[in-house]
């Protein structure tokens, strides 16, 4: 296989070609790699008409696991070496904002037990609490859940009556929506002091704790026949309860595909990856083909970033439901057809 330099020199007058792949519904269904995914990646690893390596990154609204650990798992599932330098998950972008909160008391939601706390601490958050810590502090916060032995073992000893929460980060999909909606309502109505008096609604909305979501997906495709509810559905559940309580929607910051912040972050990861592979920092932005299964996150985001977008039929998008809500450059059966079409178009 000729080196990437060959591709760089071949395209030195043009822009470097690169791919960005969504994961769930494109490369994986649940824990299993789609056969088309392995064939598609083989083509980018050199098995293509020009015999060159074509760089690619993975961008997922998934999360709940450290980047290094997830990449080891993806390497084993996909059969190709996936480096954390080519991987962007829902909460990776928080690495670029952590400085503002490093000394603040923050609540993190999502994932199992204290896995997300460990990820947040790895990013540089120093005072990180979970809703299980809240239950360990006062089980009457939510009378319908009893901490399991493993859950209790994952908790920190905190007195939340004297530990006001400054910000809440929903890193990944909450496992106990009822407990998490209850604690979230306590935090935002009482200026961060769980169990404290409710502040006037104007104060709640103007100066309450910051609320940050990392994945807007209402739906995503796992290995069940129909799409599953994602973190965006949790956000809507919380917002509906808060609106019923107060008549207002609590303001929040949204990261994840299709937000501009995530795509700008991903473009930087991609350019760093191109430089690492070829030893040359591209002088112009790469020609990027994003392959995704969800028009709302993958196609909308790629179109907004000025990338070419390919929608596949192996995930959330169902042609029976009518045309996609965001128009892709091309619609393909699966990720292998998407890669074949893009390479033919570019080479
Ligand atoms: O939780 C993961 C899901 O929301 C979507 O993942 O890889 O299709 O962006 P992905
Ligand atoms: Mg997907």
Q: Is the CB of 61 under 6 A from ligand 1?
A: yes
Q: What pLDDT sits at residue 119? A: 98
Q: Is the CB of 217 under 6 A from ligand 1?
A: yes
Predicted interface score ipTM higher than 0.85: yes
Q: Assign 3-class secondary structure to the chain.
A: CECHHHHHHHCCCCCCEEEEECCECCCEECCEECHHHHHHHHHHCCCCCCCECCCEEEECCCCCCCHHHHHHHHHHHHCCCCCHHHEECCCHHHHHCHHHHCCCEEEEECCCCCHHHHHHHHHCCCEEECHHHHHHHCHHHCCCCCCCHHHHHCCCCCCHHHCCCCEEEECCCCCCHHHHHHHHHHHHHCCCCCCCCCCCHHHHHHHCCEEEECCCCCEECCCCCCCEECHHHHHHHHHHHHHHHHCCCCCCEECCCCCHHHHHHHHHHHHHHHHHHHCCCCCCCCEEEEEECCHHHHHHHHHHHCCEEEEECCCCCCHHHCCCCCCCCEEECCHHHHHHHHHHHHC
| Ligand 1 centroid from CA 298, angstroms | 10
Mutation choice for ligand 1 from 20, 21, 25, CB with most ligand atoms inside 8 A: 25
pLDDT in tens, 25-65: 999 999 999 999 999 999 999 999 888 899 999 999 999 99
pLDDT in tens, 90-101: 999 999 999 999
Name the closest ligand to CA 230: 1
Q: Is the CB of 298 under 6 A from ligand 1?
A: no
pLDDT in tens, 227-238: 999 999 999 999
Q: Is the CB of 25 under 6 A from ligand 1?
A: yes
Q: What pLDDT sits at residue 15? A: 76
Task: Answer yes or no: is pLDDT of 14 > 80.
Answer: no
Measured distance CA(57)–CA(18) in Å, rounded = 8
| Ligand 1 centroid from CA 49, angstroms | 32
Q: Is the CB of 22 under 6 A from ligand 1?
A: yes
Name the closest ligand to CA 256: 1
């Amino acid at each position: 296989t000729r080196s990437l330099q060959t591709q760089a020199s071949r395209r030195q007058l043009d822009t470097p070609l690169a791919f960005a792949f969504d994961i769930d519904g494109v490369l994986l269904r649940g824990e299993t790699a789609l056969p088309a995914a392995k064939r598609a990646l083989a083509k980018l690893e050199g098995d293509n008409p020009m015999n060159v390596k074509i760089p690619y990154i993975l961008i997922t609204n998934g999360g709940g696991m450290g980047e290094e650990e997830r990449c080891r798992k993806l390497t084993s599932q996909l059969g190709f070496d996936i480096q954390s330098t080519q991987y962007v998950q829902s909460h990776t972008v928080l690495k670029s904002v952590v400085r503002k909160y490093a000394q603040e008391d923050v609540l993190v939601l999502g994932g199992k037990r204290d896995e997300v706390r460990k990820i947040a601490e790895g990013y540089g958050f120093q005072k990180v609490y979970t809703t299980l810590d809240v239950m360990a502090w006062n089980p009457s916060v939510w009378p319908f859940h009893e901490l399991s032995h493993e859950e209790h073992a994952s908790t920190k000893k905190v007195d939340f009556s004297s530990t006001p929460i400054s910000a809440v980060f929903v890193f990944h999909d909450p496992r106990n929506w009822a407990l998490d909606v209850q604690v979230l309502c306590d935090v935002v109505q009482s200026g961060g002091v769980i169990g404290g008096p409710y502040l006037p609604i104007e104060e709640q909305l103007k100066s309450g704790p910051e609320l940050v979501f990392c994945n807007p997906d209402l739906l995503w495709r796992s290995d069940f026949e129909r799409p599953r509810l994602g973190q965006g559905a949790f956000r809507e559940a919380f917002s509906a309860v808060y609106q019923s309580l107060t008549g207002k929607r609590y303001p929040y910051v949204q990261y994840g595909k299709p937000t501009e912040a995530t795509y700008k972050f991903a473009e930087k990861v991609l350019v760093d990856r191109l430089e690492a592979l070829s030893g040359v920092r591209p002088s112009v932005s790469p020609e990027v083909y994003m392959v995704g299964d969800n028009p709302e996150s993958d196609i909308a985001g790629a179109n907004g970033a000025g990338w070419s977008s390919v929608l596949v039929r192996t995930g959330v998008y169902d042609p029976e439901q009518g045309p996609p809500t965001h128009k892709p450059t091309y619609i393909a059966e699966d990720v292998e057809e998407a890669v074949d079409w893009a390479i033919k178009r570019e080479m």
